[in-house]
């Protein structure tokens, strides 16, 4: 989706630039005509330039909308399976907004509830060492 | 890419990595490093630094001392030494490279000479917390609780201390006090549905273990149910909240409607959530 | 005490507003440039802005909000149609004048 | 009122049809005036963003006792605001405790200046605040003035472009300043008006260009407000006031009919 959106944005920019350039050329030519001539007074931008510019604008708008992606998550713990939700924006009501956290096993207040500053580092390192030893044994 | 970034950022901001098992830590460390090498353009600078900080602590947990030192040096060169996070990292480094007493000395010196008269709102508090964490190994829980209360007197609006105090009281079996501390947490972070559920849990244990008279048990259970309901009101699919609702309402009379609702909600979670939640929800449904 | 429906997650409120603003900003500028290329003048130019602005807003409601803007915005009408109108109008006028002068 | 609305309307609708004298402008004007002004304006906007980040006020250190004082005040405010999340008994308990603490002034910082209220101008905190505010204003203000002067000085005295929409003659003086033609249509304007238009309209451009730099000030937002800014009342008075507020505060617990609410919401 993102790739498609980028390609479309580039394409529409090219369209708009080209039509701008054509329109510029046209008006330069127009100015070289005498100001009271018939074709000067009744002048109008050629249809193909108009269509090109309008097509450029519409493509750009669509590309902007294509740049939205459906929300995707990986669960924080457990097997890594991509979860795709069927909407583009986050719901704002608190009881719904936290559903995403529940789904991926996140605790939005974790900075408080996991008491990260009171962690005993030595205990953690012991645990790791033990685990590493066990792993080594298994491999042997 | 968005999903991967989201996962690491969530792990980092919720500090859930402090609860990981060594195996998960290993996986996280490798994955996060691989991700950082991709140089994701949508990763903001503040987020980048938080991820780096997480990598530092991961290295510490995984006994990769050299790596931790290198990360700390990078931080020091980019940001200077004088910021709360850097103080915290430095004390951790002292702990692993030298000894606990060196870290204690560093923190006490810093607090005495500098922070008592000139602190920002984080540094002093953070270092005091670290100090308690380092020293708690040599003392019993009563001592820890006393230290925490002293700190609370100075910083009454830090929910993390309150939570840790609640944790300690709970382990000491003083449920009444644990409840008080958890209520403080809720008052300071009103939408903390995890704290509500935890409060309900503590109240539930209290009703089972401490309360003697029937009337008192009932009142405590009702209180627990209320808090559990509050947590699910704030978070629609919160597994722990709904389990506690089901558990408490099954012990009280005349709460059939709520019990039925909780059961149907648990069923929904069992059908449509992630793998871990599914298993837990099914277990709870069976046990009730 | 506020009702539970008024409790919102401020991060998500801001995030949603930001994505809407991004859509409106970019389309307003491109519409302005287009108006300059087409050499629209006075009323036609403003009409093009209003049409463009409204259709982008409607498309946003249908495509991105899935016809349920109330789920994602606190006051949908105000947030989507009114709040950034003047901002986008001035941006549009700037882009319009710029490309009008460059092309003409 | 109605008349003026009508005249504006007719102006807008009739604009394109009216015979506007065509001037032929040198195309070099576009490339050597219009584009440079635009580029410089966009670049200054971006530069300003980065400068603002650089001069963002540092969090200033305060003595620890001062912090404790403000935290107790904040705690009382939190109880007033979030008390509804507690049960009635718990609220009552805290209320009594806090009233005692606040009214007794237990955590109040003793000032060295005995009894004398410090003069507001000699307060270092105040001047610090004013200085940072002034810096922010200057960062906004100086580039604007410089560009305006630059445009006025180097690009004055000629017609730069034609606006695509008509304006009332009242704008003539402002938009055609430096062009000495009495009856030239207002739609032909000088470079300073392009400056004005882009000042008004560049916001969306900045948003698109700078959309990923806003996340820098995340850390600043996390800190609770500390007391003692300019013009704020002394902490002692605040504490007394809060103690009074707490005495009369009524608790309306959210647990009152929570069962009913949850049942209605989810079933």
**pLDDT for D38 beyond 90:** yes
Tokens 């608190």 found at: A94
**pLDDT for B274 beyond 50:** yes
Q: What is the ipTM metric for this complex?
A: 0.85
Closest residue in D to A28 (Cα–Cα): D27
Q: Is B129 exposed, middle or buried (0-12, 13-18, 19+ CB in 10 A)?
A: buried
The reported pLDDT for the residue numbered B32 is 93
How many helices (H) and strands (E) would you count in chain D?
12, 2
Whether C23 and C60 have beta carbons less than 8 Å apart is answered as: yes
**pLDDT for D119 beyond 60:** no
Read off the pLDDT of each residue in D106-119 and give the average, rounded to a whole number: 58
- For B179, B188, B190, C3, D243, the CA distances from D86, given in Å and listed in that order, are 11, 11, 9, 16, 19
Q: Does an H or E element contain D129, and which?
A: helix D124-154
Torsion of CA B137, A116, D84, D247, to 10 degrees: 50
- For A83, C2, C20, C57, D24, the CA distances from C60, given in Å and listed in that order, are 24, 30, 8, 5, 43
CA nearest neighbour of C80 among C53, C103, C99, C98 = C53
| Mutation target among D49, D58, D59, D61 for the B interface, most CBs of B within 10 A | D61
- Whole-angstrom distance, CA of residue B196 vs CA of residue B199: 5
Task: Indicate the domain borders of chain D.
Answer: 23-255
Query: CA B67, B73, B79 angle in degrees (round to 5)?
Result: 135
State whether residue C25 is helix, strand or coil.
Answer: helix
Closest residue in C to A27 (Cα–Cα): C104
The reported pLDDT for the residue numbered C1 is 43
The reported pLDDT for the residue numbered D9 is 47
- Whole-angstrom distance, CA of residue B196 vs CA of residue D90: 14
**pLDDT for D216 beyond 70:** no
Q: How far is A35 from chain D (nearest CA, A)?
A: 9
Task: Indicate the domain borders of chain B.
Answer: 1-66, 191-288
- Whole-angstrom distance, CA of residue B230 vs CA of residue B183: 13
Per the model's pLDDT, the better-predicted residue between A8 and A42 turns out to be A8
State whether residue B13 is helix, strand or coil.
Answer: helix
- Whole-angstrom distance, CA of residue A24 vs CA of residue A4: 30
Q: Do D63 and B190 touch (CB under 8 A)?
A: no
**pLDDT for D177 beyond 60:** yes
The reported pLDDT for the residue numbered B70 is 93
Confidence of residue D215 (pLDDT cuts 50, 70, 90): very low
- Chain C interface includes D251 (CB < 8 A): no
Cβ atoms within 10 Å of B225's Cβ, excluding its own: 25
Whether A99 and A85 have beta carbons less than 8 Å apart is answered as: no
Q: How far is D148 from chain C (nearest CA, A)?
A: 17
Chain B contact partners (≥3 CB pairs within 8 A): A, C, D
- Give the largest Cα separation in chain C, rounded: 61
Closest residue in D to A41 (Cα–Cα): D19
Prediction pTM value: 0.86
Query: CA A97, A99, A101 angle in degrees (round to 5)?
Result: 95
Residue A73: phi and psi, rounded to 5, are: -140, 155
Torsion of CA B29, A124, B21, B75, to 10 degrees: -20
Whether A68 and C19 have beta carbons less than 8 Å apart is answered as: yes
Q: Which fold has domain B191-288?
A: 1.25.40
- Chain D interface includes A31 (CB < 8 A): yes
Whether D266 and C13 have beta carbons less than 8 Å apart is answered as: no
State whether residue D233 is helix, strand or coil.
Answer: coil
The reported pLDDT for the residue numbered B44 is 82
- Chain B interface includes A91 (CB < 8 A): no
State whether residue B267 is helix, strand or coil.
Answer: helix
- For C40, C41, C46, C89, D29, the CA distances from C96, given in Å and listed in that order, are 9, 10, 10, 10, 18
CB within 8 Å of D116: residues ≥ 6 apart: none
Low-confidence ranges of chain C (pLDDT < 70): 1-4
DSSP at B136: G
Q: How far is A3 from chain B (nearest CA, A)?
A: 13
Tokens 């929904």 found at: B268
Confidence of residue A41 (pLDDT cuts 50, 70, 90): low
Please spell the DSSP secondary structure of C30-90, one letter per residue.
HHHHHHHHTT--HHHHHHHHHHHHHHHHHHIIIIISTT-HHHH-SSHHIIIIITTHHHHHH
Please spell the DSSP secondary structure of D50-85, one letter per residue.
HHHHHTPPPPPPB-HHHHHHHHHHHHHHHHHHHGGG
**pLDDT for D10 beyond 70:** no
Per the model's pLDDT, the better-predicted residue between D254 and C87 turns out to be C87
Residues A69-128 pLDDT 10s: 888 888 888 788 888 888 899 989 888 888 888 888 888 898 888 888 888 888 889 999
- Whole-angstrom distance, CA of residue C36 vs CA of residue D33: 18
Tokens 């704290």 found at: B195
- Whole-angstrom distance, CA of residue D37 vs CA of residue D40: 5
- Mean residue pLDDT of chain D comes to 76
State whether residue D206 is helix, strand or coil.
Answer: helix
- Mean residue pLDDT of chain A comes to 87
**pLDDT for B184 beyond 70:** yes
Q: Do C4 and B233 touch (CB under 8 A)?
A: yes
DSSP at D17: T
Confidence of residue B99 (pLDDT cuts 50, 70, 90): confident
Whether A104 and B276 have beta carbons less than 8 Å apart is answered as: no
DSSP at B275: H
Per the model's pLDDT, the better-predicted residue between A37 and A57 turns out to be A57
Q: Within 13 Å, how many C-alpha atoms sit on residue D160's CB side? A: 30
Chain A contact partners (≥3 CB pairs within 8 A): B, C, D
Q: How far is C80 from chain B (nearest CA, A)?
A: 26
CB within 8 Å of B132: residues ≥ 6 apart: A118, B144, B147, B148, B151
**pLDDT for D179 beyond 70:** yes
B243-264 CB burial, b ≥16 within 10 A, e <16: bbbbbbbebbeebeebbebbbe
The reported pLDDT for the residue numbered D59 is 65
- Mean residue pLDDT of chain B comes to 89
Most confident of B110-114, B135-139, C81-85: C81-85
DSSP at A86: S
Instruction: Report the percent of chain A where pLDDT is more than 70.
Output: 93
Structure tokens at B88: 């915290």
The reported pLDDT for the residue numbered A120 is 87
Structure tokens at A138: 């298994």
Residues B17-50 pLDDT 10s: 998 888 889 999 999 999 999 988 888 888 899 9
Q: Do C100 and D254 touch (CB under 8 A)?
A: no
Whether B217 and B207 have beta carbons less than 8 Å apart is answered as: yes
Closest residue in A to B19 (Cα–Cα): A114
Per the model's pLDDT, the better-predicted residue between B65 and D227 turns out to be B65
Q: Does an H or E element contain D159, and which?
A: strand D159-162
**pLDDT for D220 beyond 60:** no
């Amino acid at each position: 989706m993102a790739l498609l959106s980028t390609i479309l944005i580039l394409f529409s920019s090219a369209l708009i630039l080209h039509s701008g350039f054509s329109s510029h050329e046209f008006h330069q030519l127009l100015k070289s005509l005498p100001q009271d001539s018939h074709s000067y007074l009744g002048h109008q931008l050629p249809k193909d330039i108009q269509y090109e510019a309008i097509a450029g604008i519409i493509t750009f708008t669509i590309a902007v909308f294509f740049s939205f992606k459906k929300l995707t998550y990986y669960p924080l713990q457990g097997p890594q399976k991509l979860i795709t939700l069927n909407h583009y924006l986050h719901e704002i009501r608190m009881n719904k907004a936290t559903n995403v956290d529940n789904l991926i096993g996140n605790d939005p207040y974790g900075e408080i509830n996991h008491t990260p500053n009171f962690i005993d580092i030595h205990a953690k390192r012991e645990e790791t060492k033990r685990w590493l030893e066990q792993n080594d044994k298994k491999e042997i | 890419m968005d999903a991967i970034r989201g996962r690491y950022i969530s792990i980092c901001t919720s500090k859930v990595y402090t609860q990981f098992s060594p195996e998960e830590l290993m996986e996280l460390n490798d994955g996060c490093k691989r991700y950082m090498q991709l140089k994701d353009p949508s990763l903001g600078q503040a987020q980048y630094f938080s991820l780096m900080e997480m990598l530092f602590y991961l290295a510490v947990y995984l006994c990769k001392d050299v790596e931790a030192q290198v990360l700390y040096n990078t931080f020091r060169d980019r940001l200077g030494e004088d910021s709360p996070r850097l103080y915290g990292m430095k004390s951790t480094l002292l702990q692993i490279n030298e000894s606990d007493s060196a870290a204690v000395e560093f923190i006490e010196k810093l607090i005495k000479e500098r922070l008592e008269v000139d602190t920002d709102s984080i540094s002093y508090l953070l270092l005091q917390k670290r100090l308690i964490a380092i020293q708690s190994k040599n003392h019993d829980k009563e001592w820890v609780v006393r230290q925490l209360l002293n700190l609370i007197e100075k910083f009454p609006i830090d929910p993390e201390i309150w939570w840790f105090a609640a944790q300690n009281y709970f382990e000491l079996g003083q449920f009444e006090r644990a409840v008080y501390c958890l209520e403080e947490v809720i008052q300071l972070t009103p939408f903390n549905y995890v704290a509500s559920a935890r409060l309900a849990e503590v109240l539930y244990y209290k009703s089972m273990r401490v309360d003697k008279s029937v009337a008192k048990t009932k009142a405590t259970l009702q209180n627990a149910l209320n808090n559990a309901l509050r947590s699910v009101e704030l978070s629609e699919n919160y597994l722990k909240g709904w389990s506690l609702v089901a558990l408490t309402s099954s012990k009280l009379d005349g709460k059939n409607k709520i019990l039925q609702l909780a059961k149907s909600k648990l069923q929904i979670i069992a059908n449509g959530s992630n793998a871990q939640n599914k298993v837990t929800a099914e277990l709870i449904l069976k046990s009730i | 005490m506020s009702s539970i429906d008024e409790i919102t997650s401020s991060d998500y409120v801001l995030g949603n507003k930001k994505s809407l603003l991004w859509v409106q900003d970019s389309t307003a500028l491109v519409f302005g440039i287009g108006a300059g290329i087409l050499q629209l003048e006075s009323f036609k130019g403003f009409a093009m802005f209003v049409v463009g602005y409204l259709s982008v807003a409607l498309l946003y409601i249908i495509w991105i909000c899935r016809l349920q803007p109330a789920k994602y915005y606190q006051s949908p009408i105000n947030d989507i149609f009114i709040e950034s109108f003047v901002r986008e109008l001035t941006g549009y006028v700037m882009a319009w004048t710029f490309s009008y002068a460059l092309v003409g | 009122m109605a008349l003026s609305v009508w005249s504006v309307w007719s102006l807008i609708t009739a604009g394109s049809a009216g015979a506007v004298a065509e001037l032929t402008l040198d195309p070099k004007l576009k490339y050597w005036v219009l584009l440079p002004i635009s580029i410089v304006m966009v670049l200054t906007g971006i530069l300003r963003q980065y400068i603002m980040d650089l001069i963002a006020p540092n969090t200033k250190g305060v003595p620890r006792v001062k912090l404790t004082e403000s935290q107790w005040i904040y705690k009382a405010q939190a109880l007033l605001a979030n008390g509804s999340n507690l049960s009635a008994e718990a609220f009552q308990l805290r209320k009594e405790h806090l009233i005692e603490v606040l009214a007794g002034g237990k955590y109040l910082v003793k000032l060295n200046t005995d009894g004398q209220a410090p003069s507001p101008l000699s307060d270092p905190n105040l001047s610090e605040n004013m200085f940072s505010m002034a810096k922010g204003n200057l960062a906004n203000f100086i580039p604007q003035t410089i560009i305006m002067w630059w445009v006025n000085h180097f690009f004055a005295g000629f017609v730069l472009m034609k606006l695509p929409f008509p304006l009332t003659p009242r704008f003539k003086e402002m938009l055609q300043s430096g062009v000495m033609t009495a009856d030239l249509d207002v739609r032909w304007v000088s470079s300073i008006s392009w400056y004005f238009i882009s000042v008004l309209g560049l916001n969306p451009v900045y948003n698109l260009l700078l959309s990923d730099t806003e996340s820098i000030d995340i850390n600043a937002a996390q800190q609770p407000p500390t007391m003692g800014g300019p013009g704020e009342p002394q902490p002692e008075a605040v504490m007394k006031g809060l103690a009074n507020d707490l005495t009369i505060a009524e608790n309306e617990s959210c647990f009152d009919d929570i069962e009913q609410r949850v049942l209605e919401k989810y079933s």
